[in-house]
Structure 1
Amino acid sequence: MSLTELFIIAVGLSMDAFAVAVCKGLAMPRMNWKGACVVGLYFGGFQAVMPFLGYVLGSSFSLSIRAYDHWIAFLLLVIIGGNMVKEALSHEEEYTDSSLDMKHMTLLAVATSIDALAVGVTFSFLNVDILPAVSFIGVVTFSLSMIGVKTGNVFGCRYKSKAELAGGLILILMGMKILLEHLGFLPF
């Protein structure tokens, strides 16, 4: 997997965290970098740990399903991306809370990184060098989460659904690319 592909996946995975960070920034009466850093550390940390756990799980059975692993990767990414698109297009109001306590942030970080677990399983099928990949995903998510807090504090939640929609579409396109490569339709 190229660095460009990894960056695209990292951005796609970070969009849930970015969207929640935007709402965190909206809920903060005044933007402070310490709070933004806390949000970034939670989201970036969980976005790095979850694909690693998925990779470990996927590695345990990847040899037995090598013949159709590209279909599994495709389905996982399309399902994850489709759910993100669905959430982006729903018009449900979400509660925003400026709390940065450990329990609250851990629940949010787990919720925004579940899709990264499935991507980690996909990485095991693709034989991705996992430690640099998850570190890169964590750094990208940390950075985008901090930007999200600032954006939310300045502009509000109006970009939340657009970020989720973009992230979902990116993951769907990456799933399609993986499938097409393995079927021989793309020469890369």
Structure 2
Amino acid sequence: MSFAALIILAAALGTDAFSLCVGIGLAGVTRRQMLIISVTVLVFHIFMPLAGWFAGEFAGSKLGRAASVIGALLLVYLGARMIWATMRGGRDTEIKTVNFTTWGLVLLGTSVSMDALSVGFTLGARQVNLLLTAGTIGIVAGAMTASGLILGRFVGSWVGGRAQLLGGAILVGIGAKLIF
């Protein structure tokens, strides 16, 4: 696999994280949260191809669907909560950032990197430098995550108070798409 093909593959794998993080950024994130989320996605995008390479396809397909559904439900929940807070008015709309627990970060990282697990199965059958490939996928996905968060945060500050409503709608939409 050429390095150009690897970069294209990595960018394709990072698009889920980018689009999801635009929605999260719209809801509001601090710089610290941006760093934590970006590093989480980077690590998962390195780990998942390696895990896929070492795991069997049967186990990966069973885990992949369950993790995708759980991650999608988390996104729907977060998005619905943001929409509810915006529509309700009151003190919840004054919260300008989304808070992720450790478990939430694990589910986020898992849900956006499940396609990288599948790629790992394929990489196991090909003659590739697995560490270079997984590292490149992780770095590109981490950069795309940070870009999505920055874009969402910028647009959120520009749009104003309705950014949380838009971000919630994006998260619900992405979560619903992942379920179906």
Q: TM-score scaled by structure 2? A: 0.63
- Code of the aligned partner of 1:95: G
1:119 matched residue in structure 2 = 119
Q: 1:58 to 1:105 in 2, by over 3 A?
A: same
1:26 matched residue in structure 2 = 26
User: SS of the residue aligned with 2:127?
Assistant: coil
Percent identity between the two aligned chains:
27
User: SS of the residue aligned with 1:99?
Assistant: coil
1:46 matched residue in structure 2 = 44
Confirm whether residue 140 of structure 1 aligns to residue 140 of structure 2. Answer: yes
- Code of the aligned partner of 1:151: L
2:103 matched residue in structure 1 = 103
Query: In the aligned structure 2, how far is the partner of 1:152 from the partner of 1:109?
Result: 18
Query: In the aligned structure 2, how far is the partner of 1:5 from the partner of 1:99?
Result: 36
Q: Which runs of 5+ in 2 are unaligned?
A: 62-75, 83-97, 157-165, 175-180
User: SS of the residue aligned with 1:116?
Assistant: helix
Please state how far the C-alpha of 1:100 moved relative to its aligned partner.
2.5
2:55 matched residue in structure 1 = 57
Please state how far the C-alpha of 1:33 moved relative to its aligned partner.
2.2
Query: In the aligned structure 2, how far is the partner of 1:103 from the partner of 1:39?
Result: 12
Query: In the aligned structure 2, how far is the partner of 1:58 from the partner of 1:147?
Result: 33
Kept in 2: contact 1:58–1:125 (CA 8 A): no
- Code of the aligned partner of 2:79: Y
1:43-93 C-alpha deviation (Å, 9 max, x unpaired): 11111100011111369xxxxxxxxxxxxxxxx9xxxxxxxxxxxxxxx99
Q: Which runs of 5+ in 1 are unaligned?
A: 60-75, 77-91, 165-188
Instruction: Spell out structure 1 runs of 4+ moving beyond 4 A.
Output: none
Please state how far the C-alpha of 1:94 moved relative to its aligned partner.
7.6
2:162 matched residue in structure 1 = none
Aligned residue pair count = 129
Query: In the aligned structure 2, how far is the partner of 1:94 from the partner of 1:103?
Result: 14
